[in-house]
Chains A and B, each alone.
Chain A
């Protein structure tokens, strides 16, 4: 029996990096929307300046991909995720396994409402990517990838690790089998929602961390931010249905430390440039890829408005991003915030 190829949807830098790792053991079908990208991959085995493994074959045909592959890794920005799933869904069957790598949220509102008009943004309106997959398709063997996986470092073959989370051992097992190699370690976790949320919420703190660096502040400030950021992630994460444990592992604190110190992170970069005085519009206009954190801040801010919950970092960032508060002012605000309990979640 010939082995079926593995599918990857989305040829961004993370999608390409995952495709490369998968290609060490299997043939990989990589879906890209852009015909230029496909041509580049097919002819030069190259994408975004990075070499791609010879086992990676580009395609622009979702039907063909779904038909050829039993296991698919969708890795597209959250803003395009639902639409992509709607296109893919007719070709999916319950035997498919989907493991996504998108650290963002989707909102699903009643007809005619938008995030700005809806009175109460509740958990029922917010979807993690695994929930989008299950909304839109018959696939229920779903998993996610999360952890400190900066695409550029992965492309450079530096050692790293990831978490594969799913309710199904089968999915974790398959993910492990496909991804694991001697530079890439894979951990399993059963708390799918918790792990997804850890990856999603850490982007907020990453923006804040970039802003601190942009202000030229030192390591004390960063230590403060990371630990308080962690607490905030856990409180928000719990309110959204995640378990504390997910946040203290690789996908939580592991990812948080990596992104909060890295100029390679897009979310970090947004914060950094904000602190340097640029406007959000300008920054987003010349970024090559999506910084999920910006959208996440907006959703989480609206969500906590209805909970008995304060998330000072998120709230302050919201004002910086969307209401013109300067990073300086936001910092002053935060320093005056009456924190008094260090740890109250364990």
Chain B
């Protein structure tokens, strides 16, 4: 897709004049202090949750066991060099304790050291100077790439005719987002399809003039040096998915909660990991979302007189024509759904080289991306107006504080907050579907896959996917007819506010189909969809087609095929 001239070139002024006022800068300035608070609050929580004589000991022993297993079976390059020694020491100390009757104090001491280690490991290392440098590199590098390839003329390399904004369209409630970020704390929750997402969102946050957001990035990404550099600079804190022990998870949650409480805008990928199936997330991880809920309640408790800063949830969807990792992701998905019990998380581009290769491909060949910013909501999923007031279905103002009130006072009720978080996650999923912008490429993939699936509906999915690709073809006329029906249904849903569509989807039917076919998974070595010499629709990779088809799952469109 070429830029159609309709992308907005508006540039946004930073909402805060200098970076020194950014919450994330404040956080990193007081890093030492902040980590200390994380440690203390985590300790209080864990001690309270394990009051019994043996409980703390058991918690530590489980953690030790799992950590030693991790070190042995799944070591990563980013792991600190003293990992083994540290846990060996913990082991020895625990062994010494076995003879002692009442060792609670010593156990708490060990716990403190474990939590402190985790907190340091998690904590981001935001540096203002590095942020600025990284930002410039991204901007400059991408701009050069774009201009060199778009305008094929000598000297174009140093022109600024095209910017990232031509490549990446930002749609939706941008103005509101900027206003909300001034008055409260924003928690952005995007869909997650590609490893590119974090960098993309980082760039978007910057280009919208927002201060840097903090976000939890998978530790595995820090294995890749180029990523590590950017993420450290962009306010990332580290999340190690190998560590599933309660002590680690508690530390992580307290970190996130306190950062939000301090007013640091945050970014969660609420689906947890990249969508393996290509579907828009339908169930969300509640852990990190729950920390936002806790932070809000905690703020209300601290500021009883209406001074409380509000937290706003902003859903975001990222729409691609092409996801580099698609073949690998769908492979993992099918494998796990098919009953294979365990696989170690793999990285498709474990080297900076592969990553750069992709970026060059991406920027030179032009496959536009659109990012939809959803309406801001409070933590209960009520929409807020531009001033941050929550509004109910009937247009009346709601005081969000009241949700946390029992008998006239803000109270702590974990079960209630869990329920609220579940409710919020359902609403976020609904919003994802609503702001998702349908591309022609999504819809051609859906229609083609469904037509073939219907012809072979006696087969189960796995047998179907094993059909030889040569046997599958659809005459263009048949395809066109079904596509037209599906498009009509999508456009109707758009009027009901159930989904959004890219402007190009409304074009002339043949053109839209051609556009879709040209773009769906365009850089895969085996194209998921194309037309053969006879003009029929064929596929070279049914699995990947399945992946792209899944994007339109959940809209009940099957009945139009």
**Could you list which residues of chain A lie within 8 angstroms of chain B, going by C-beta atoms?**
1, 70, 89-90, 93-95, 135, 137-138, 140-141, 167-170
Contacts and interface: CB of A to CB of B under 8 A. Distances in A.
Contacts of B407: 70
Contacts, number: 42
Interface string B409-430: 0000101100110010000000
B392 interface: yes
A169 B406 contact: no
Interface stretch (B7-15, B40-48, B304-312, B396-404): B396-404
A140 B392 contact: no
Contacts of B400: 94
B391 to A, nearest CB: 10
Contacts of A141: 416
Nearest to A141: B416
Interface in B82-106: none
Contact of A140 (B393, B394, B406, B423): B423
Contacts of B393: 135
Contacts of A89: 394
A78 B413 CA distance: 32
A140 B415 contact: no
Report whether over half of chain A's contact residues are helix, strand or loop; otherwise say mixed: loop
B406 A94 contact: no
Given A169-B413, A170-B413, 4 more contacts: A94-B405, A95-B406, A141-B416, A167-B419
Query: Which 3 residue pairs are nearest across A and B when measured between Cβ atoms?
Result: A94-B402, A95-B405, A94-B403
24 contacts: A70-B407, A70-B408, A93-B399, A93-B402, A94-B398, A94-B399, A94-B402, A94-B403, A94-B405, A95-B402, A95-B403, A135-B393, A138-B382, A138-B396, A140-B380, A167-B419, A168-B415, A168-B416, A168-B419, A169-B415, A169-B416, A170-B406, A170-B413, A170-B416
Interface of B: 380, 382, 392-394, 396, 398-400, 402-403, 405-408, 413, 415-416, 419-420, 423
Quick one: which of A94, A137, A167 has the most chain B CB within 10 A? A94
A131 to B, nearest CB: 13
Contacts of A170: 406, 413, 415-416
A28 B423 CA distance: 32
A136 to B, nearest CB: 8
Nearest to B398: A138
Contacts of A169: 413, 415-416
Contacts of A94: 380, 398-400, 402-403, 405
Nearest to B407: A70
Contacts of B398: 93-94, 138
Given A93-B399, A94-B380, A169-B416, A138 B392 contact: yes
A17 to B, nearest CB: 26
A169 B380 CA distance: 18
A90 B402 contact: no
Nearest to B400: A94
A90 to B, nearest CB: 7
Contacts of A70: 407-408
Contacts of B392: 137-138
